[in-house]
Chain A
Amino acid sequence: MSALERIDIGTWQRRFLDLDPDEVAGVHYFRHLGPRAFSRYFKPPSSFLGYGFRRLRRLHYDPDPRALRLFSFMLEEGERLFRARQSGMRVVGLMGDYGAVAPLLFAFPDVTAFYPDFCYWTPFLTESEVLLERAERRGLGADTCYVRAAVGAFTSQAYWPEPDLVAASTGASCDDLAAVAQVAFDAGTKMMFLEIPQRKDPAPWLTATRFISVAGQAPRQAGLLERLCEIYRDFFDRAGTALGTPVTEDRVAGSVARFRELRAVIAEIRTLVATAPLCPLPATEELLVQFASTHAYGDPAECRRILDGVLELVRERSERGVGFGREDDVRLYWVNPPPDPLLHVHVERTGARVVGTEYLIASALTPLSEGDPVKSIARAFLTGSLLGSSAARSETIVAGIRETKAEGVVISNLFGSSHCGAETPVIRRAVEEKAGVPVLSFDVPKPAPGEISSQVQNRLAAFLEAIRARRGRCATS
């Protein structure tokens, strides 16, 4: 076993300049447009500093170019959307469905999709309140979680072009995002709403409702899958009308198949990250892999190339027994991992590794079944956390802890996020009782220049120390 070291931003800059220039210049997004000067995206993190991404200075990175390529692909997404529009593509925003709708949408020709939701990373990456201040001026203050940053992006039009369409999920979706969608709608964005039904738990008083059980999944009311399929098909027709483009069944099947393969690659990466003796991919990079499951960062073909490279990297490391940290690092399961990469880096610096996660995009990580593509999407979405109860979510988390052999659970709460406030006690109780592992919960500090708050640092250090002491007691007994 040998340990890899993460590298800082300066080291990456120096190493990047030593890479083969032709190899670097040959990496493009939207390759169907042919190589364009603008579509180069492979660059070191320091190249983003001057454009506001201040947090990058404090991070430490995987030293392999295959992982760096993923990082820069993610950071380049905003520009990619503008370039898509300039190249004649349609740009569609998706909100609150966490990866369900994107595979359907990419069936339309010359369309790219993005999630305004993920703008909640931006205040952390830029260590800035610019977007949050704009949201506050429109009534979404600290009582709404950081997804309110998307308001500031909608109203300035500096982060993505005016979308041709935004499809926003409501109902059993994120209430904060619904608030953002309303503001975007008020600001003139062309919106289409999808009413997502709730997945209920069986209860004695629901005598008029029939429930069905599916192996490995939470029970659900009969007919829910079919209802969701209807909603998606209806959306598909309306989107086709709005975009002025009919689409064939073959294209839908092809797009869903591409995402099926993408999710399979992501699943293998996650499995290796959880099971290798040494962690073969740092937490931030692994999180970026997971987010690719939702919409492939707007370019499924290029995203697949990148993830194939990351999978190859993770396989190589696992086979050779190399990775980050130490074999005795504390194995953590992270609920609601925050959009602050510095926090991930800090956890790893403190002697822990992240072996599993559970949060709102979890349904996008569920494998897509073969067969009817719409039903496949709907079936995967029904495994998600947000449309069901806190109890069902807790069960998913407990199963994940067992599967990954996690020794402790971290629940990070985002200020203003109602599901965080309501669910944390429920999850904590379920984890402690059913999985028998300790839980640490804390509020994610507000995005600001500087290191992680000393309070969070102290609490994490104490938590990890307690887990190590627990190991000793278990060994003795």
Chain B
Amino acid sequence: MRDELTGNRIIRDEMTPLERFSLLLIDEQPDRVLTVPLVTAHAATAAGLRPGDCVRDGALMARAQIEAQELYGHDAYTLFSDVGILAEAMGSTYHHAPDAIPILDRPVVRDLADLARLRVPELSAGRLPVYLEATEILHRSRGDRIPVFCFVPAPFTTAAALRGVEDFLVDTITDPDLADQLLLAAERAAVPLLDELVLRGALPVLVDPLASASVASPATYRRYALPGTKRLIDRLHRLDLDVTLHVCGEVAPILEDLAATGADLLSFDQVPIAAARESIGDRVRLVGNVSPQILLRGDREEIRAVTAAAVREGTRNPKGFVLSTGCELPIRTAKESVLAFMEAAQRGPAAMEGRPPGDRAGSPAASCRICERREDSERQYYRECPHDHPGSGPRIPNDEGRPAQ
């Protein structure tokens, strides 16, 4: 909008990440694309900490998230240590190393007797208190500005961690009853944790990597993974919460099934965004999906180009889009690479691809929300749209590698 007399642009304020996310959830357009790379264990690296220490100390885990967010300027905390957090609380043992995330050492369920002994874990069991403490710290310190996404393993993934991945997959074929009982125990274990996380201000993300088509067949997903995940999502929907489901790996054959869980946002990995948009984009907000390998190994130009392409495709999704990585950022991803990703996200694809102002990039026309001139919808996400709203440019890394404020 312009001042009628002076012609000066009337400047709107930049939104906080939480405002951005809240608008997305009610089908409104935020000031730019919401950008949430999965900065999980990598947060420790970004903060100069050791991942293995962070997953065992809630205060350290929160500190890593805060410092990483301040460094990169992304739009949410993504609190996650590993997919075994519930299984460990139920008795599976994990190998802990200072510089790595925990690895399944010994599954707790070796026979039916073990299964009978499984109980819903107390919230004081295993590393659940670490999670809860980190959530509490993040929500208390910055929860008015930054969403706190907290990842909880979905039943299929927890069941695999209770039994061992291979054994569990064999169970789904040879002993469906055992598999069902494991899934039920895993589902019940997730309920109190989810409830408590909600009470501490977290926004729930169900994570189910072991149910992807890289590990299990689509038929297995439908028969075993989908029902429990759907029940958990239905329960969270009773509280009217918006639920994200993250499944990394190959998901193309199960896209419809993932949408059938009722998830409000789907964080996915190895599917072209356009294909996901065509298939389920009218029902689900898409979250994705720049390959973490690009950020690990690509140079800045490649990262920018791939990110710009993801934004261009994603922002055309009818139900909305969150720019993210397809999976967790690798621990040793260079900070400069993440900053290149963020820069591309915040400046927009046209600027990154050197296209002239007003280039529509195939997007439908709409009014710029900042100054109300009609432009391509892609540009509405960016403060440096052709109308050049001052004071609203992207965060460009300064000499210290930190985003300029």
Tell me if B26 and A21 are in contact (CB < 8 A).
no
Chain A neighbourhood of B20, CB < 8 A: 158
Indicate whether A128 sits within 8 Å of B12 (C-beta atoms), given known contacts A21-B238, A51-B18: no
Q: Return the CB mask of A89-110 against B: 1 if under 8 Å, else 0.
A: 0000000000000000000000
Tell me if B18 and A52 are in contact (CB < 8 A).
yes
Q: Give bound CA distance, A33 to B395, whole Å.
A: 43
Tell me if B238 and A50 are in contact (CB < 8 A).
no
Tell me if B148 and A50 are in contact (CB < 8 A).
yes
Q: Return the CB mask of B72-99 against A: 1 if under 8 Å, else 0.
A: 0000000000000000000000000000
Does B219 sit at the interface, judged by CB under 8 A? Answer: no
Q: Which of B10, B28, B145 contacts A186 (CB 8 A)?
A: B10
Chain A neighbourhood of B235, CB < 8 A: 17
Chain B neighbourhood of A10, CB < 8 A: 199
Q: Give bound CA distance, A137 to B1, whole Å.
A: 19
Q: Which of A40, A44, A50 contacts B201 (CB 8 A)?
A: A50
Tell me if A47 and B198 are in contact (CB < 8 A).
yes
Does B195 sit at the interface, judged by CB under 8 A? Answer: yes
Looking at B136-144, B288-296, B320-328, B344-352, the stretch in contact with chain A turns out to be B136-144
Chain B neighbourhood of A52, CB < 8 A: 18, 22, 143-145
State how many angstroms separate the Cβ of A63 from the closest Cβ of chain B: 17
Q: Return the CB mask of A144-164 against B: 1 if under 8 Å, else 0.
A: 000000001001111101000
Indicate whether A128 sits within 8 Å of B369 (C-beta atoms), given known contacts A86-B27, A156-B13: no
Tell me if B144 and A128 are in contact (CB < 8 A).
yes
Q: Give bound CA distance, A40 to B12, whole Å.
A: 31
Does A126 sit at the interface, judged by CB under 8 A? Answer: yes
Tell me if B23 and A13 are in contact (CB < 8 A).
no
Does A16 sit at the interface, judged by CB under 8 A? Answer: yes
Tell me if B22 and A158 are in contact (CB < 8 A).
yes
Tell me if A13 and B15 are in contact (CB < 8 A).
no
Indicate whether A156 sits within 8 Å of B15 (C-beta atoms), given known contacts A43-B240, A47-B198: yes
Tell me if B239 and A38 are in contact (CB < 8 A).
no
Q: Which of A13, A14, A126, A156 contacts B144 (CB 8 A)?
A: A126
Does A419 sit at the interface, judged by CB under 8 A? Answer: no
Q: Return the CB mask of A1-30 against B: 1 if under 8 Å, else 0.
A: 000000001100110110001001000000
Chain A neighbourhood of B3, CB < 8 A: 188
Q: Give bound CA distance, A9 to B10, whole Å.
A: 42
Q: Which residue of B lies closest to A450 (CB)?
A: B140
Chain A neighbourhood of B239, CB < 8 A: 13, 16-17, 43-44, 46-47
Tell me if A83 and B26 are in contact (CB < 8 A).
yes
Does B245 sit at the interface, judged by CB under 8 A? Answer: no
Chain B neighbourhood of A13, CB < 8 A: 195, 198-199, 239
Q: Which residue of A lies closest to B21 (CB)?
A: A51
Q: Give bound CA distance, A187 to B20, whole Å.
A: 20
Q: Return the CB mask of B7-35 against A: 1 if under 8 Å, else 0.
A: 00010111110111011001110100000
Tell me if A51 and B22 are in contact (CB < 8 A).
yes
Indicate whether A49 sits within 8 Å of B199 (C-beta atoms), given known contacts A13-B239, A17-B238, A187-B10: yes
Indicate whether A82 sits within 8 Å of B144 (C-beta atoms), given known contacts A51-B18, A157-B12: no
Does A127 sit at the interface, judged by CB under 8 A? Answer: yes
Q: Which of the four size classes fits the interface of chain A?
A: 35 or more
Does B338 sit at the interface, judged by CB under 8 A? Answer: no
Tell me if A158 and B241 are in contact (CB < 8 A).
no
Chain B neighbourhood of A9, CB < 8 A: 199
Tell me if A49 and B238 are in contact (CB < 8 A).
no
State how many angstroms separate the Cβ of B192 from the closest Cβ of chain A: 11
Tell me if B201 and A54 are in contact (CB < 8 A).
yes
Tell me if A188 and B148 are in contact (CB < 8 A).
no
Does A130 sit at the interface, judged by CB under 8 A? Answer: yes
Does B228 sit at the interface, judged by CB under 8 A? Answer: no
Chain B neighbourhood of A79, CB < 8 A: 26
Does B202 sit at the interface, judged by CB under 8 A? Answer: yes
Q: Give bound CA distance, A40 to B241, whole Å.
A: 12
Does B39 sit at the interface, judged by CB under 8 A? Answer: no
Tell me if B26 and A449 are in contact (CB < 8 A).
no
State how many angstroms separate the Cβ of B329 from the closest Cβ of chain A: 23
Tell me if B18 and A134 are in contact (CB < 8 A).
no
State how many angstroms separate the Cβ of B29 from the closest Cβ of chain A: 10
Chain B neighbourhood of A315, CB < 8 A: none
Which residues in window 229-269 of B have CB below 8 A to A?
235, 238-241
Chain B neighbourhood of A152, CB < 8 A: 13
Does A57 sit at the interface, judged by CB under 8 A? Answer: yes
Q: Return the CB mask of B140-167 against A: 1 if under 8 Å, else 0.
A: 1001110110000000000000000000
Q: Give bound CA distance, A157 to B13, whole Å.
A: 8
Does B206 sit at the interface, judged by CB under 8 A? Answer: no
Q: Could you write out 14 A-B pairs with CB less than 8 Å apart?
A: A13-B195, A13-B239, A16-B238, A17-B239, A40-B240, A47-B240, A50-B148, A52-B144, A57-B199, A156-B13, A158-B22, A187-B1, A188-B1, A188-B10
Give residues in B with beta carbon < 8 Å to A: 1, 3, 10, 12-16, 18-20, 22-23, 26-28, 30, 139-140, 143-145, 147-148, 195, 198-203, 235, 238-241, 369
**Sample of 20 further A-B pairs with CB below 8 A, known A54-B140, A128-B144:** A10-B199, A13-B195, A13-B198, A13-B199, A16-B238, A21-B238, A24-B238, A43-B240, A50-B139, A50-B147, A50-B241, A52-B143, A52-B144, A52-B145, A54-B143, A57-B199, A83-B26, A157-B369, A158-B20, A186-B10
